[in-house]
């Protein structure tokens, strides 16, 4: 037996021994003559665990010894871990290699190189665009929420290997990447076409503010990363010094991000109460709350199908507290929370650990949040926001609504 096999067998035995020790110290046992015996049910469980470990080792050895090509042992192990997370059939839970994990962390830090498109594995196992990030190459190339990316540089990818596709979409600035897009047309028929996007350094300026009609504040939040709350507070204070009388917050095409950052922003807008609570499979709840201190401007939030995750938490809290009016179209519908786990070798995983509920106890996963006032964006409008106020009928409706709230 090779040295590697001996070491692995020792690891398996160590794991099983630890499980047995746990069973002895935590489960009821029958004692005769000062000797402890594991209950039969627990013994069978431990035997099953050992058999499963042995099965994995046997298959791995068989592949290495008999596969026609050379086997990269690291890739083989990474594949086992990826498969473990994929078996959960949860598009938001995934194992990431060291390179993939570093790339993931870069996105939440606020700076990375790529095309600026947020994607998720769809229910159809196709890579689905949650939203393009404002003023990035992806948005300028015309990529839209709901688009399916079926090929990258001519290679076909699916939701199950989305991380590999994302890795290819990223790259050195000023280099090009080709995407094959599947988009439903107005008759709900598939339209497939290719676009070429030039990569850039993406410094996510996630918060922008403007004044509309002299006294209406407008804040656009494109995502929630580590810098977003700080930037939001700066822009909010700037608007306050301009003596605004009402506030419009635009969350359209905001795919979400960090829960704690979203909660910090909600705390600026809400009075004392719940922002959101999460619940694990064993019923354990964790509440995020706001205090009494808040800005008291009349408030309108703009949302659409590209508003997801943390955006929906903020929108749900505002709606349930009746703090403001939601205008636009039904949101994306992501009501589950992931925990990020970094591993010793630099790899990591993202695992769905709980679902979240709005203050009124509503879980919107797969459903989304319906606005108080539904307004479909006029067909053919390519740009939204203050720079295209004339054609952005959703923003014009928000402006009309906020004026009715100003005393």
pLDDT of 3? 46
* pLDDT value, residue 55: 82
- Please say if the pLDDT value at position 377 is more than 60: yes
Comparing 202 with 228, the larger pLDDT belongs to 228
Domain 112-203 has CATH 2.30.42.10: yes
User: SS3 for 163?
Assistant: helix
pLDDT of residue 132: 87
Listed in sequence order, the residues at least 6 apart from 391 whose beta carbon sits closer than 8 Å to its beta carbon are 378, 381, 383
- The pLDDT, as a whole number, for residue 245 is 96
Q: Which of 93, 290, 309, 354 is catalytic?
A: 309
- Exposed e or buried b for every residue in 285-300, given b needs 16+ CB within 10 A? eeebebeeeeeebbbb
The angle formed by the CA atoms of residues 111, 114 and 120, to the nearest 5 degrees, is: 95
Would you call 320 a catalytic residue per the annotation? Answer: yes
Using CA atoms, how far apart are residues 392 and 382, in angstroms rounded to an integer? 9
What is the mean pLDDT of the segment spanning 333-349? 93
- The DSSP result for 181-218, as a single string, is EEEE-TTS-EEEEEEEEE-EEEE---EEEEEETTTEEE
Q: How much is the average pLDDT of 380-396?
A: 92
The yes-or-no verdict on residue 182 having pLDDT over 80 is: yes
| pLDDT tens for each residue of 286-340 | 999 999 999 999 999 999 999 999 999 999 999 999 999 999 999 999 999 999 9
Active-site annotation holder among 145, 320, 392, 397: 320
Is 309 designated active site?
yes
Is a pLDDT exceeding 50 seen at residue 21? no
Residue partners of 154: CB distance under 8 A and separation at least 6:
178, 180
pLDDT, tens digit, 9 for 90 and up, residues 109-156: 666 789 989 888 888 999 999 888 878 899 999 999 889 999 999 999
Tell whether the model's pLDDT for residue 23 goes beyond 50. Answer: no
Residue 284 designated active-site: no
Beta bridge pairs of residue 31: 36
* Residue of 163 and 271 predicted with greater confidence: 271
Output the six-digit token pair for 173: 């600035």
- Spans of all domains in the chain: 3-36, 48-106, 112-203, 207-404
Q: Compute the average pLDDT of residues 75-101.
A: 90
Phi first, then psi: give them for residue 258, nearest 5 degrees.
-85, 125
Range 207-404 classified under CATH 3.90.226.10: yes
pLDDT at 28: 40
Q: Check: CB of residue 181 under 8 Å from CB of residue 195.
A: yes
Q: Which of these is catalytic: 305, 319, 334, 397?
A: 334
Instruction: Return the structure tokens found at 287.
Output: 């509440």
Hey, how many other C-beta atoms are within 10 angstroms of the C-beta on 362? 14
- Per-residue pLDDT tens digits for 30-82: 444 445 566 777 767 777 766 777 888 888 889 989 999 998 988 898 998 99
Write the DSSP symbol of residue 331. -
Residue pLDDT, tens place only, 228-285: 999 999 999 999 999 999 999 999 999 998 999 999 999 999 999 999 999 999 999 9
Virtual torsion, Cα 186, 190, 194, 197, nearest 10 deg: 60
């Amino acid at each position: 037996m090779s040295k590697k096999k001996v070491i692995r067998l020792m690891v398996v035995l160590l794991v099983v021994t630890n499980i047995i020790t746990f069973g002895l110290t935590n489960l009821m046992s029958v004692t005769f003559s000062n000797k402890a015996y594991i209950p039969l049910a627990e013994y069978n469980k431990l035997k099953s665990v050992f058999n499963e470990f042995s099965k994995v080792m046997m298959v791995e050895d068989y592949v290495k010894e008999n596969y026609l090509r050379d086997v990269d042992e690291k890739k083989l192990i990474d594949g086992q871990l990826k498969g473990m997370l994929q078996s959960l059939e949860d598009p938001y839970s995934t194992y990431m290699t060291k390179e993939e994990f570093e790339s993931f962390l870069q996105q939440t830090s606020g700076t990375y190189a790529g095309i600026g498109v947020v994607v998720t594995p769809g229910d159809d196992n196709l890579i689905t665009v949650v939203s393009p990030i404002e003023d990035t190459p992806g948005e300028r190339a015309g990529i839209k929420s709901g688009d399916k990316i079926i090929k990258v540089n001519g290679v076909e990818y699916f939701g199950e290997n989305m991380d590999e596709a994302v890795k290819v979409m990223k790259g050195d600035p000023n280099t090009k990447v080709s995407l094959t897009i599947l988009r439903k047309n107005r008759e709900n028929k598939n339209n497939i076409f290719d676009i070429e996007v030039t990569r850039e350094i993406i410094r996510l300026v996630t918060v922008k503010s403007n004044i509309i009609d002299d006294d209406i504040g407008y804040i656009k939040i494109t995502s929630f990363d580590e810098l977003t709350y700080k930037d939001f507070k700066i822009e909010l204070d700037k608007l306050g010094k301009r003596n605004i009388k009402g506030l419009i917050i635009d969350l359209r095409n905001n795919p979400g991000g960090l829960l704690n950052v979203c909660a910090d922003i909600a705390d600026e807008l809400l009075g004392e109460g719940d922002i959101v609570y999460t619940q694990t499979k064993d019923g354990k709840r964790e509440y995020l709350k706001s205090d009494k201190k808040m800005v008291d401007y009349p408030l309108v939030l703009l949302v659409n199908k590209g508003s997801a995750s943390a955006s929906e938490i903020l929108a749900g809290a505002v709606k349930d507290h009746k703090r403001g009016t939601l205008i636009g179209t039904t949101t994306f519908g992501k009501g589950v929370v992931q925990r990020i786990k970094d591993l010793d070798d630099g790899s990591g995983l993202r695992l769905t650990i709980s679902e979240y509920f709005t203050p009124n106890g509503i879980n919107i996963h797969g459903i989304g949040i319906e606005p108080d006032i539904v307004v479909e964006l006029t067909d053919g409008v390519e740009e939204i926001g203050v720079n295209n106020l004339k054609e952005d009928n959703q923003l014009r409706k928000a402006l009309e609504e906020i004026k009715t709230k100003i005393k």
